[in-house]
Structure 1
Amino acid sequence: MIIVTVFVLKPVLDHVTKEIIAQKQEVARLKSVVDQHPFYKYNGLWTRELQNLVASIELCAWLGGLQEHKGPNSASFMTIEDVGKFLEIPVNLKEEDAFHLTIEEYLLALIAMVEELSRLAVNSVTLGDYNRPMQIGSFIKELFAGFQLLNLKNDILRKRSDGIKYSVKKVEDVVYDLSLRNLVPKGGPSA
């Protein structure tokens, strides 16, 4: 069944990559307009859409797409610098009032990606891919551990990052059910 999942996934990733490239061009147009105005006065107008785009980029990269755009140290997801380089926009500007990808937008995009990966874990099992939930579980546990190291204020980022634990539990439940049914070898990839 894993072979079937790969054949189904490749065309989807190819299509998603084309759409992401189209959105990259729209970001370039947005940047050209925004650079003429105060960034923080208007960034609320596009921040959610930019987060969704970054989440799509991250998910596509994690699933194996966008390989030519990942940095040399990016094992399973793109760093904020990799995403900035891909979108051809600066990241986390402090002294300049210009269009850029903020750390908050990037972190919120990672949280959205985790939520989608937890859904993918459940759907992978229905397609017969029993190893993917274990890969997802391992990855999102590492991300959750990273988020716990951050000293977040009591804002939207803190509230959304607290939700990662529910995604971790959801994937752990899937992996637990798989192990109870002996569908994954003991001491497999997640061990």
Structure 2
Amino acid sequence: MTDSSSSNLIDPSIFEYLKAHGEEELEVGEKLHHITSALNRHISTCQGFLSRIHSTPSSKLPPLLKQVENDGIKPEIDSVGELARFASNYPYYKWSRSIQNVVGTILLTGWLGGLETESRPGELGRLLTIEEVGQLLKVPVNLKDRDAFHITIEEYILALTDITEELSRLAMNSVTMGDIDLTVRISGFIKDLFAGFQLLNLKNDIVRKRVDAVKYHVKKVEDVIYDLSLRNLIPKHEAASS
């Protein structure tokens, strides 16, 4: 026979608490899903515009970059702002991949000569710092004093590896478009970037593997430069410096 008094050993308020907070967590998750879904749509749009760089000569990039900024990056900034305001209240949720993609679109657009800032004019080959990315997105970077939404060093480095892959592809397509100078510039940039990565003490396995993969992009572009130099399409001193 069951002792009816045993049911009194469990405080009913325990389940009331679980019910209330479980429902709250579902609501938060749904809201974050809604925000990040919109953000991911803007990222896809921005990446779609940027994909056109592979068939657009560098001399004709400015109008395309303006479209990227107005119709791609500005909506991204708005969505990141909404995410930052909401997510800072719930720092245990993760959205790193989406933010990495946003940072990647900004870094690539900046490198191509878009996204002028007050301190730096738009110019081909410019690498935006993590602080400049934070200023553009209007969010803090690398926070250490509080747990709130921010751009992390890891997200910035991973975004750099993303644009290295994209630029290595652009280097080859630039040859097809007859833009040898751009190929040479890309070669020098990704080699310098990879050299910079070697100075970092990378303890995160994912980041280390992604950085290690950059050497394959460097090699791919070096092969293009070597082939161009054999065909005397670039001066030998430029081939050596790239």
- Under a length normalisation based on structure 2, what TM-score does the superposition of the two structures give? 0.71
After TM superposition, list the pairs within 5 Å mapping 1:1-191 onto structure 2: 5-18=57-70, 19-37=72-90, 39=91, 41-43=92-94, 46-68=95-117, 71=120, 76-153=126-203, 155-188=205-238, 191=241
Structure 1 position 95, deviation (Å): 1.9
> 2:200 is aligned with what amino acid?
L
Structure 1 stretches of 4+ moved >3 Å:
69-72
Supply the distance in 2 between the matched residues of 1:67 and 1:99 (Cα, whole angstroms): 25
Supply the distance in 2 between the matched residues of 1:24 and 1:96 (Cα, whole angstroms): 22
Q: 1:80 to 1:69 in 2, by over 3 A?
A: farther
> 1:144 is aligned with what amino acid?
F
For the 8 Å contact 1:70–1:82, the answer to whether it is kept is: no
Say how many residue pairs are matched: 183
Q: Which has the higher Rg, Structure 1 or Structure 2?
A: 2
Query: What is the DSSP-based 3-state SS (H/G/I as helix, E as strand, rest coil) of the residue aligned with 1:67?
Result: coil
Query: What is the DSSP-based 3-state SS (H/G/I as helix, E as strand, rest coil) of the residue aligned with 2:198?
Result: helix
For the 8 Å contact 1:71–1:78, the answer to whether it is kept is: no
CA root-mean-square deviation? 1.9
- Counting aligned pairs with the same residue, the percent is 54
> 1:42 is aligned with what amino acid?
Y
> 1:178 is aligned with what amino acid?
L
Q: 1:9 to 1:156 in 2, by over 3 A?
A: same
For the 8 Å contact 1:69–1:82, the answer to whether it is kept is: no
Supply the distance in 2 between the matched residues of 1:119 and 1:34 (Cα, whole angstroms): 35
Query: What is the DSSP-based 3-state SS (H/G/I as helix, E as strand, rest coil) of the residue aligned with 2:183?
Result: helix
Query: What is the DSSP-based 3-state SS (H/G/I as helix, E as strand, rest coil) of the residue aligned with 1:187?
Result: helix
For the 8 Å contact 2:229–2:239, the answer to whether it is kept is: no
Structure 1 position 154, deviation (Å): 5.0
Structure 1 position 10, deviation (Å): 2.1
Structure 1 unaligned runs (5+)? Answer: none
Supply the distance in 2 between the matched residues of 1:50 and 1:71 (Cα, whole angstroms): 23
For the 8 Å contact 2:229–2:236, the answer to whether it is kept is: yes
For the 8 Å contact 1:134–1:190, the answer to whether it is kept is: no
Query: What is the DSSP-based 3-state SS (H/G/I as helix, E as strand, rest coil) of the residue aligned with 2:235?
Result: coil
Structure 1 position 70, deviation (Å): 6.1
Larger RCO, structures 1/2 (Cα 8 Å, 6+ apart): 1
Supply the distance in 2 between the matched residues of 1:126 and 1:154 (Cα, whole angstroms): 38
Structure 1 position 6, deviation (Å): 3.4
- Under a length normalisation based on structure 1, what TM-score does the superposition of the two structures give? 0.90
Structure 2 unaligned runs (5+)? Answer: 1-55
